[in-house]
Amino acid sequence: MATAREMTVGVGAGAEQLDTTEMVLNIGPQHPSTHGVLRLKLKLDGERVTACEPVVGYMHRGAEKLFEVRDYRQILMLANRHDWLSAFCSELGVALAVERLMGIEVPERATWLRTALAELNRVLNHLMFLGSYPLEIGAITPVFYAFRERETLQAVFEEVAGGRMHFMFNRIGGLKEEVPAGWTTRARQAIGEVRRRMPDLDNLIRRNEIFLARTRGVGVLSAEQAAAYGVSGPVARASGLDFDLRRDEPYLAYGELDVPIVTRTAGDCHARFECLLDQVYVSLDLAERCLSHVDTLTGPVNTRLPKVVKAPEGHTYAWTENPLGINGYYLVSRGEKTPWRLKLRTASYANVQALSTLLVGCLVPDLVAILGSMFFVVGDIDK
Amino acid sequence: MTTPEKNGFPGKGLIKGLGITLKTMVSRAGTQQYPDVEPELPARSRGVIGLMESNCTVCMLCARECPDWCIYIDSHKETVEVPGAARARQRNVLDRFDIDFSLCMYCGICIEVCPFDALFWAPDFAYAEGDIRNLLHDRGRLGEHMAGVPAPPPHDPNGEPSKEESTAAKKGGAR
């Protein structure tokens, strides 16, 4: 050829024959990296993602509609299931909303126990992602260490609530029953054990070169973007969005606790992972402090309820800092024993929306790293 | 995209990782030899629901309060002649008490609402079935589960004693 031909590989059109056609690629609904049935509709130009549309709803169970035909005790059972990794915190939110509407004052001992258990639940949730996220990008070992710690804490939960995932320990007005004798001591021992062994997990992965190479600078979410999409929790705090309801609008006993907020500014996958990892240490400390305070308190852990629990006519909005972000509960009651409407605002749903901008421009190999670092539970997205 | 660590040398992560693996290798394993050794489960563990038939008065509260209606109860009325009483009494007799564990959500509401303490949690969990229909446990099977029901753990002395303890104390005081 006499003349040199210029060709553009990538976005846009080159010569007619060299034009790379856009390909639509479906990730999911059944895909090992989506841990659940999240479907991503990607438009690819070669290896580069040009558009991403998260398609949600494959696991929709109509939780909000079910709430309308269940009484408040049964709602707790449903509420602890949409986000199966933070069951205690989810049932807590419903209980708080109903208690506020009914004007129930929760005994102090119950409040502090709830705070301790909520923080332990946060550790359980974070340990799950600390194990599964490295697994998704190829590091198989950390998950075993994460699950060893989870097992220790699950034993604590099982002793007190009888369940390992769906604790069903909250009730309207307090907790189901008093904790077994010596449980607070054993729980503190378990916390100490987890804290002692956390460096194993930490050393394995936090500064690992391969892990850094896969996550640092990948999938950067700016604070503005995070705020625009309503992203909350550790994902938002990794982008420098310093917002945590435990400090900014304290519920339970958080007002009396000094809650350190873990934030990062990088906003990349590694920052998100580090937020989770550091939050574990903070939550362990908080839980330990709560348990020590519980030992100084006496009295009941629940309140006497009428035979039929009816929230008076009205509406309220309770929000809590769940492990994955802000969960909101908008409760509208018409004075019946079931709510007229109970709207759920779940953290995962909002966090996943940011994927549509976050994934644009990234490469397919980075996709799994970004997807895993958004820390969502599909049940929590689809409700 | 890769930014090398400032204070690291190549392969540092690998050496660190191997160090932890070595540490774990020489420390005692926490393996539980499950099928050979039964796990020790806490008393509150929600494994299976046992039915104490003699306590059941067929009030149907459990079946009504169950969030997904997995309890099936049939009964009939019987007339009992009580010597000395003016009129014969009506008594509910249980014909069928089934719990469908394929539907059960293990929330424990039935046990909580039972006013006569006829239902109990037992920690037994090993009742998986090849056929889903076999997860419907009838009253005979539910009665067998009672053998595994442990004594409830004592409450924390800082908290309130359990309802059973306080009523027992009250009764003891009245006597």
- ipTM for this model: 0.80
Residue at A291 is within a domain: yes
Phi and psi based region of residue A339 (left: phi greater than 0; alpha: psi -120 to 50; beta: remaining): beta
Which H/E stretch holds residue B119? strand B119-122
Among A266-280, A343-357, B9-23, B139-153, the minimum mean pLDDT is found in B9-23
Q: Which residue has the tokens 């309060």?
A: B65
Q: What is the pLDDT of residue A4?
A: 64
Residue at A141 is within a domain: yes
Question: By CA distance, what is B48's nearest residue in A?
Answer: A162
Inter-chain residue contact B109 with A77, CB threshold 8 Å:
yes
Q: What is the pLDDT of residue A1?
A: 44
Q: What is the pLDDT of residue B119?
A: 92
pTM for the model: 0.85
Q: State the smallest CA–CA distance between residue A15 and chain B in angstroms.
A: 30
Question: By CA distance, what is A109's nearest residue in B?
Answer: B159
Question: By CA distance, what is A296's nearest residue in B?
Answer: B158
Q: Residue A248 has which token pair?
A: 């900014």
Q: Residue B58 has which token pair?
A: 């067929």
CB atoms within 10 A of CB A69: 10
Q: What secondary structure letter does DSSP report for A374?
A: T
Q: Which residues pair with A61 in a beta bridge?
A: none
Inter-chain residue contact A180 with B153, CB threshold 8 Å:
yes
Q: How far apart are CA A127 and CA A204, in angstroms?
A: 14
Interface check A143 vs B, CB under 8 A = no
Q: What is the pLDDT of residue A30?
A: 74
pLDDT digits over A251-279, tens only? 888 888 888 888 888 888 999 999 999 99
Chain B residues whose beta carbon lies within 8 Å of the beta carbon of residue A145: 20
Q: What is the pLDDT of residue B121?
A: 92
Mutate which: A66, A73, A160, vs B, most B CBs within 10 A:
A73
Q: State the smallest CA–CA distance between residue A160 and chain B in angstroms.
A: 7
Inter-chain residue contact B13 with A211, CB threshold 8 Å:
yes
Residue at A5 is within a domain: no
Q: Which domains does chain B have, with CATH numbers?
A: 48-148 (3.30.70.3270)
Chain pair A-B, CB pairs under 8 angstroms: 123
Listed by number, the residues of chain A in 194-223 with a beta carbon closer than 8 Å to a beta carbon of chain B are: 200, 203-204, 207-213, 216-218
Per the CB < 8 A criterion, the answer to whether A329 and A307 are in contact is: no
Which H/E stretch holds residue A175? strand A174-175
Listed by number, the residues of chain A in 102-121 with a beta carbon closer than 8 Å to a beta carbon of chain B are: 109
Q: What is the pLDDT of residue A117?
A: 93
Inter-chain residue contact A294 with B158, CB threshold 8 Å:
yes
Interface check A332 vs B, CB under 8 A = no
SS3 content of chain B, % helix, strand, coil (to 5): 30, 20, 50
CB atoms within 10 A of CB A47: 12
Cα-to-chain-centroid distance, residue A136: 18
Phi and psi based region of residue A233 (left: phi greater than 0; alpha: psi -120 to 50; beta: remaining): left
Residue at A40 is within a domain: no
Q: pLDDT class for B51, splitting at 50, 70, 90?
A: very high
CB atoms within 10 A of CB A229: 20
Among B1, B8, B153, beta carbon nearest to A218: B1
Range of the domain at A55: 51-381
Helices marked H in chain A = 63-67, 72-82, 87-102, 108-136, 142-161, 183-205, 209-215, 223-229, 233-238, 245-248, 269-294, 347-353, 355-358, 364-373, 378-382
Question: By CA distance, what is A169's nearest residue in B?
Answer: B107
Inter-chain residue contact B106 with A218, CB threshold 8 Å:
no
Mutate which: A76, A152, A208, vs B, most B CBs within 10 A:
A208
Annotated ligand binding at B59? The verdict is yes
Which H/E stretch holds residue A322? strand A314-322
Q: What is the pLDDT of residue A209?
A: 83
Chain A residues whose beta carbon lies within 8 Å of the beta carbon of residue B121: 162
Interface check A158 vs B, CB under 8 A = yes
Residue at A10 is within a domain: no
SS3 content of chain A, % helix, strand, coil (to 5): 50, 15, 40
Helices marked H in chain B = 12-26, 61-65, 109-113, 139-145, 163-174
Per the CB < 8 A criterion, the answer to whether A109 and A117 are in contact is: no
Per the CB < 8 A criterion, the answer to whether A183 and A155 are in contact is: no
Number of folded domains that form chain A: 1
Residue at A226 is within a domain: yes
Residue A29, preceding peptide bond in cis (omega within 30° of 0):
yes
Q: How far apart are CA A349 and CA A231, in angstroms?
A: 9
Among A181, A212, A297, beta carbon nearest to B5: A212
Residue at A206 is within a domain: yes
Q: pLDDT tens digits for chain A (383 residues)?
A: 455 665 555 555 444 555 567 788 888 777 766 667 788 888 888 888 888 888 888 888 888 999 999 888 889 998 988 888 889 999 999 999 999 988 888 999 999 999 999 999 999 999 999 988 988 888 888 898 999 899 999 999 999 988 888 998 998 988 988 889 889 999 999 999 999 999 888 888 888 888 888 888 888 888 888 889 989 989 999 998 888 888 888 888 888 888 888 888 888 899 999 999 999 999 999 999 999 999 898 888 888 888 888 888 889 999 999 999 899 999 999 888 899 999 999 988 888 888 888 888 888 888 888 888 888 888 888 88
Mean pLDDT of chain B: 85
Closest CA to A94 of A73, A113, A109, A108: A73
Chain B residues whose beta carbon lies within 8 Å of the beta carbon of residue A113: none
Q: What is the pLDDT of residue B48?
A: 92
Residue at A270 is within a domain: yes
Q: State the smallest CA–CA distance between residue B7 and chain A in angstroms.
A: 11
* Residues sharing a CB contact under 8 Å with residue B77, sequence separation 6 or more, in sequence order: B90, B91, B92, B93
SS3 of residue A202 by DSSP: helix
Q: State the smallest CA–CA distance between residue B90 and chain A in angstroms.
A: 26
Annotated ligand binding at B107? The verdict is yes
Mean pLDDT of B1-16: 65
Q: How far apart are CA A89 and CA A113, in angstroms?
A: 12
Q: Residue A189 has which token pair?
A: 């021992």
Angle between helix A108-136 and A87-102 (nearest 10): 150
Annotated ligand binding at B66? The verdict is yes
Chain A residues whose beta carbon lies within 8 Å of the beta carbon of residue B17: 141, 203-204, 208
SS3 of residue B97 by DSSP: strand
Mutate which: B20, B66, B109, vs A, most A CBs within 10 A:
B20
Q: How far apart are CA A372 and CA A380, in angstroms?
A: 15
Mean pLDDT of B112-119: 89
